[in-house]
Structure 1
Amino acid sequence: MIPVTPLAPLAAPLAAWMGLAAPSSPASGPPCAACVTWRAEPSVAARLLDPPGSLAGLDVVVSAAAGTRAEAMAVARALAARGAAVALEVALDGAEDFGTLAQDVAAGAAAAPRVVLRLPADGVAGDELVFRVRTRATAVRAASPSAAVGLAGPPALLAAIAAREVAPYVSFAVADDPAAPPATRAIEWWRSAAPAHSVSAVLTETSASAARVVFPLVADDVAVARAVARLADLLPAGLTPLGSVTVCPADQTACAAAAFLHPGTLEAIALMDSPALLRIRPGATQAAARPLGGGRDVSLALARTPGGTDVDARALTGPFVLHAA
């Protein structure tokens, strides 16, 4: 069974979004399943391919350490063929890896449209390092013009490199430690997080900021990664508060739970802690639930009432995403 931590006792960000936190808890944004990236070694990333099926919504950085570039590229191609978004990470100074990287990217651009260049941990943001970043990024884009190039490394070093006008060469940066992005906005900043072993823990982390979050993927969390990917279309970036709609247990006249407007489907989205008979105000014409732990949408029975529309979600077995129109 895929781990799904009960939502009520989670850390403040997700609890506050659901209206479960004490009034003094800080507010935060909605969770974003589409803002999750997993970083994995080739052997672990390959486990995402089992069982068969679409991997749409999954975003993976496959790390190619010395001697594993061919394996990493093969896994990247297999993941991309199943619908995953894939990036290949290589050491900036890895002569063996970089010697044929451009050719690999050109041959398998659909498999790895993004390349992450890992900066040396002891690097200094001087002219020499900046030159190497620009040179390698140029080589990748010359081989595959559609490829996006990113950098990974210590936050302080990334910030110093970003200040050296590398934006024309680099599209995004992945900080190794959770840190506030630097003042520059010319580069998209991704934030690294500690391992998360349940779907709820992942969503809690994403609600803390609007940045893309990178989680290390271990073998035991492969099912969690796949479950989060299946929520990406319901919990994309850009959910906005929907103050005119409330979703509460039917026996409550008021509640603090929030609803959000989906930017694509224009549905009302709410993350529910547990099965219940719900009431949507002012009303709805259709509703469905998608379990956080994985599985397909479940159509929910509706009943019009003077106070709104009752939605019967009592047959579900755990936390779920409600989407209604």
Structure 2
Amino acid sequence: MHNSDPFLVDLMSRVQNVLPPDLREEIAAMLAANRARQTAALAPAGPGPFPAATLRQDGFLRLGRLLDAAAATRLREHLLAGKVYAAHVPVYSDGVARSVDETRHHSDYGSYKLQDILAAPGVLELALRDDVVTLASAYLGALPYIYSVHAWWTYPGGPEPARTHRIHRDQDDFRFLSLFVYLTDVNGAEDGPTVYYAGSHRKDLLAAATVNHPDPVIRAEADRIGRIELFFPPRGANATRYTEPLRKLLAPHEAVLTGPAGTGFIADTFGLHRGSPPAKCDRLALWIRFGLYRNWAYINDKTAPAVLPATVLDRLTPAQRMMLELVAVPEG
């Protein structure tokens, strides 16, 4: 059965977020093995330059500057001239396309439609970088689908932190990765960095840092949340209601991800993480998400493939075209 088979997709998306973490990971391994069989002839060869073992251990990895200053500026200026929608993802907005500046009066966010992002300079090349694809394949266990390509502005001055600025888990897929690239400078806390809690993507590591910690003071703090199952869906939902206790408990494991425009990092965002509201300047960021099937998030966000010129897709390799089949189709 193919990982995009409609029956499999419907079945998996219905059960994905009601399973405890152990069973979730068991099914992830099955999906990865099935996808690996389907794509065996196209899988990247060799380990690649980025350390997959570190990503497996910590749940995130700093990748350095993936776009140089000129490329980041070119992409930012292109997007700045375009229209955005007043929500973190356009499907949750009022559906009105506005300028970046006007949208700040309607939302904490201004987000772009997939069609506009994939047409932006350098985005497709960034999504298909051999080193990133090799890393994602090693982590996921198979050549991934790219199921989301997204860019959004975060505006300063909101009356209270947005939902994504609370500690939470994403629940996109049974196993998935998010590549983030800053398109404005994020050099410190006032610029709106993403914060990731190392090891929180894995039940064994999170238990060792909390409910099974050797320090009784830390165990007692963890017990105020509850058994380790309450740190994960479905019993703990996506964890936003535990933001303050988790910030205190997991402070030693907090990684604040900063860097100039063009800086990238990749994360298993099933792990606990949060955004930070910028204090003064608008922040622009891009994500590219890699997964194992036509997943719950793809369906929930009502994603539909962007239409790209056939000449663009024709110059890609068979592996690249297979990776893009959820987000791009040829015109005509």
TM surpasses 0.5: no
The structure with the largest alpha-carbon Rg is 1
Higher relative contact order structure (alpha carbons within 8 Å, sequence separation ≥ 6): 2
For the superposition of Structure 1 and Structure 2, which TM-score range results when normalised by the shorter chain? Answer: under 0.3
* Structure number with higher helix proportion: 2
